[in-house]
Structure 1
Amino acid sequence: MKKFKKKIKMIVEKTDTGLSAFSTDYPIFTTARTISELFDHTLEAANLYFEDEGVQIIRDNLKFELDFQQFFQYYKVINAKFLAGMIGMNPTLLSQYVQGHKKPSDKQTEKILMGIHRIGRELSEINLIHRSR
């Protein structure tokens, strides 16, 4: 099996029943109820598409893109005001990005994404304990 060397861009959209993902460059598309399921289904669909070419697609070959509005609709647990404070951005401006009233520059997008990744890292390092009384 040959390794695929490119990134396959997958556009993610929220649907009434979950999520969908489709490629703008290849006839690859799938649906799922959760993000993790969507990642698995997309990998399976991509490998199915490239099967006849003897090419193996791995998770690193897939690049998922989700717009701000849909991201905050799906991840309702992330508070935009809290995120804005964390990254030093005006909360009103971030709210306008989230609502689709304004489009962030590449620099602003990177700043927001770095904040989201920081929250993810912090959450992944937390261990919760339960103490009985």
Structure 2
Amino acid sequence: MKYVRILFAVALAFVFCSAFTLKDKEKKEKAVYAFGVGASFNDSVVYFTEVQMLDSVELDKSGFLPKRDLYTYQLKNFLEYEMKKPDYTCMIYFSENKSKLEKEVSKVRGKYRKSKGVVLQVLPPAGFMFKKPQE
């Protein structure tokens, strides 16, 4: 009977400890998607990137993209140095839900389409991709 109690206590401890490790395994990394917009007051062309999945990135506890300013500077530097388009203001939109982000793309594009004389140009993924900033 003494061995049964010890065996039962060990089994109970094993079940109790494994319950906490299962929670960590259930916690699954969600993909983060983003797109960028570059606009200038001096030019009628507005540049858009495609919706892209960001490589190995997680949103912080408050739901913000860490180092989002560095992603914005990637787009700004691309427009400035690769496309020779200085003085562009760049913005980045991000979400864990790709369909919501695609709705946001159409909403932002719609606002620019309403403006007369504005030309929308899409930057293909072959030309520009967001990269994880160096730490």
What band does the TM-score fall into relative to the shorter chain? Answer: under 0.3
Looking at both structures, which has the greater relative contact order when contacts are Cα pairs under 8 Å and sequence separation is at least 6? 2
Q: Which has the larger radius of gyration?
A: 2
TM-score for the superposition, normalised by structure 1: 0.27
